[in-house]
Amino acid sequence: MRQFYYTMITLLRGRSSTTIKLISLTLGLLVGILLFSQIAYELSYEKCYPEPEHLVMVRALITNQKTGEVMGDDGSPYDETVFAPLAPAMAEDMPEWVESATTVYPSGENPVYKENKLLDAHYILADTCFFRTMGIEILKGNSQDFTMPGSVFVSRSFARKVFGGEDPIGKTLSLDKRQEVTIRGIYQDMPENSMLKHDFVLSIHRESGYQGGESGIAMIFIMLSCACAGHRTWMR
């Protein structure tokens, strides 16, 4: 009891400095938690996919055929966009290497409307192999419906935000009040720490081809087969 008594007397006499120390300690712990949370967020970037070690993006290395000089933009020798038909061509020509491949236009530019304009609605365009290649779970609908032009699959959170408790399947959205698109399915939400941020995915298919035509420039993602996932030098 005497030890406890002297401890309380000491704390009471120096209560102002004790309060400052407690506040400093609390702020230090808070900053530490925020810092480690940010580090964990950065280290998990693009790790949200079921098999991130098998998922790769095709990049083009452009060189001058006469001089051999690398011709790149922004200080990088690689271009992250290639011709859109490359994805199905690689899947067909290299089945022993490529399990699945998808073509993606990473950003839709038109504003989205459902009666009124939807703020902060982000979408991408992709082909029917998108969900299979990226490993994104479809919660409702059939991915084969994505072959129909004007088809849209929405994320679960977007469906709840825009349609509430209603079933969004079969309902329509408008892009820039010029193109009407129909919701065909719902997929599992993806986290923010990914280069492809989207509330919904619009079908890239147009009249047995791609939007933008055969010369359209897009991003290509490939799910490698398990046999070659550890040997990617062939893609460089």
Q: How far is CA 132 from the centre of its chain?
A: 14
- β-strand partners of 180: 174
Interior angle at CA 102, CA 232 and CA 80, nearest 5: 60
In tens digits, the chain (236 residues) has pLDDT values of 666 665 666 656 655 666 776 777 787 888 888 877 777 666 666 777 777 888 888 887 777 667 666 665 555 677 777 887 788 888 888 888 898 999 998 877 889 998 899 888 899 999 889 999 998 999 999 888 888 889 999 999 999 999 988 999 999 999 988 889 999 999 999 887 777 889 999 998 876 666 655 556 788 999 988 655 555 444 44
- pLDDT given at position 107: 77
Count CA atoms closer than 13 A to 43's CA, side-chain side: 6
CA distances from 218 to 112, 159, 224 (A): 22, 27, 19
Global pTM value: 0.72
Cβ-proximal residues to 98 (8 Å cutoff; 6+ apart), any chain: 90, 91, 222, 223, 224, 225
* Torsional sign, CA 120, 212, 185, 97: negative
CA distance 185 to 37: 33
